[in-house]
Structure 1
Amino acid sequence: MVAPQDHEYLVMGGANRAGVGRLLSFAASVISGGLVFGILYAIDLAEQLGWNVNAPPTLLSLVGAGAVFGILYWVLNKWAWRWPGIGTFLKVPDISGTWDCQGKTLAPDGSTKFDWQAEVTIVQCWDKLRIRLATKTSGSSSISAALAHDSVDGFVLLYHYRNDPRPEAVELKPHTGCAVITIAKDLKSADGEYFNGRGRMTFGTMTWTKRN
């Protein structure tokens, strides 16, 4: 089994990531130019005062456009995408954190076969995501995902996952499945459906509640 890891995710209706990259590149060029000008101006002023000051190439490379772009992207990816204003522009909801899940496995006639509970942990930054759902008998991790803005209901999360039973659950088999979750506008509750493929041909519903 491949170890689960964070993966890229699609944002439907959000800001184009290539466009955001171009904006960051422009900002990096402007900031870098300003920093280089400031350093050279400071050196020139120091020389006028009779100080022997040199700017090593390493210093100028640290404020080059490439280095500034890397810093800006790192800040955006880790924190800035959540900030008011920037988050609104990017249209990426912050769904990270821990959610309590109440699930139902359904029969073909729509009746409940059994209830189950789980803990959902979502790790998210601007360009990567991971959804981990853990029950008493198994755990699943997302393989791919997409977030779509719904002007009426809030946001829709679609993800594909792989489920692996715990060693003691010998009656269960590894399998893959898909889930479609509608997340409320306040990002505190969600509900949706799931279905599993070969290995466990089941389907049902889930209700998520965000922990404070």
Structure 2
Amino acid sequence: MSTATTLRTGATIAATLYTAVLVLLGLYPTQFRYLLAYIPAAIGYGVVVFDKWAWHWPAIHRLTARPWVTGTWRVILSPSPESHIPEGGNKGPITGYMTIEQTFWGLHATLRTKESTSSRSSNATLTAPENSGTFEIGFLYDNKPRMEHQPRSPRHEGACRISVTGLTPLTATGHYYTSRFTAGDMDFTLLDRSTHHSTFAEAQATDPEATPS
């Protein structure tokens, strides 16, 4: 369980239990004199609302100063010429789709290509190196190729770093490295804010520039 999920779950449980105790004691919020007693519960629920939604609402977003990157992104991977790509492997460019799920305190990314079921992130970080309006997203990932490709493309790990500019970026650039001794550049374009796609085909269906597989 991620830190953000733990925080939201803890805040929700604590606020709900606190509210239940007040009600059992007969301290109903409809009575003005008891309203102050519900402030801790309101703060607990407020933490959840802020973490999941409110932090990127227009007026608040300028104060939080954190880029909103939630959504489905088209990503073009361009392996470097020095990459150790096996015979029959795809030397690129490779089209993939990255789904990013973001809250104020958490970030998770899943990359899907035609040859892999998913590459799931771990240890994701979001930093602003020089407070210049450019942010860097970094994470490790575990790639699981489809069974038919595993003889030449086994399961592997990698690292990725993405640079975004502004609070609501529509494009981004980055680079990646893998344990198979491959590396390359990445170019991103935001397609939409949805995060429900579970396969490469589903994400590709939303891409107006995609060539049907």
Instruction: Mark yes or no: TM-score above 0.5.
Output: yes
2:196 pairs with 1:208: no
Of residues 169, 176, 185 in structure 2, which corresponds to 1:194?
176
Of residues 52, 60, 66 in structure 2, which corresponds to 1:86?
60
Amino acid at match of 1:178: A
2:137 pairs with 1:157: yes
Q: Measured at CA, do residues 8 and 194 of structure 1 come closer, stay the same or move farther in structure 2, by a change above 3 Å? A: farther
Whether the 8 Å contact between 1:143 and 1:159 is mirrored in structure 2 is: yes
Whether the 8 Å contact between 1:7 and 1:129 is mirrored in structure 2 is: no
Tell me the distance in 2 between the aligned counterparts of 1:177 and 1:99: 19
TM-score normalised by length of structure 2: 0.66
Whether the 8 Å contact between 1:36 and 1:63 is mirrored in structure 2 is: no
Amino acid at match of 1:99: W
Tell me the distance in 1 between the aligned counterparts of 2:98 and 2:169: 14
2:165 pairs with 1:184: yes
Q: Measured at CA, do residues 113 and 166 of structure 1 come closer, stay the same or move farther in structure 2, by a change above 3 Å? A: closer
Identity of aligned residues (%): 28
Tell me the distance in 1 between the aligned counterparts of 2:82 and 2:29: 70
Q: 1:7-46, aligned counterparts within 5 Å?
A: 7-8=2-3, 39-41=31-33
Q: Measured at CA, do residues 37 and 113 of structure 1 come closer, stay the same or move farther in structure 2, by a change above 3 Å? A: closer
- RMSD in angstroms over aligned alpha carbons? 3.2
Whether the 8 Å contact between 1:182 and 1:190 is mirrored in structure 2 is: yes
Structure 1 match to 2:73: 99
How many pairs are equivalent?
163
Residue by residue over 1:73-116, the C-alpha shift from the partner in whole angstroms, topping out at 9 and shown as x without a partner, is 1110121111123222222211000110111111229xx94321
SS of the counterpart of 1:168? helix
Tell me the distance in 1 between the aligned counterparts of 2:106 and 2:135: 17
Structure 1 match to 2:119: 140
Q: Which ranges of structure 2 fall in alignment gaps of 5 or more residues?
A: 12-26, 84-89, 193-213
Of residues 87, 95, 98 in structure 2, which corresponds to 1:117?
95
Tell me the distance in 2 between the aligned counterparts of 1:164 and 1:106: 21
Tell me the distance in 2 between the aligned counterparts of 1:153 and 1:90: 13
Q: Which ranges of structure 1 fall in alignment gaps of 5 or more residues?
A: 1-5, 10-16, 22-34, 42-59
SS of the counterpart of 1:211? strand
CA positional deviation for 1:180: 1.1
Structure 1 match to 2:205: none
Amino acid at match of 1:96: T
Structure 1 match to 2:149: 169
TM-score normalised by length of structure 1: 0.66
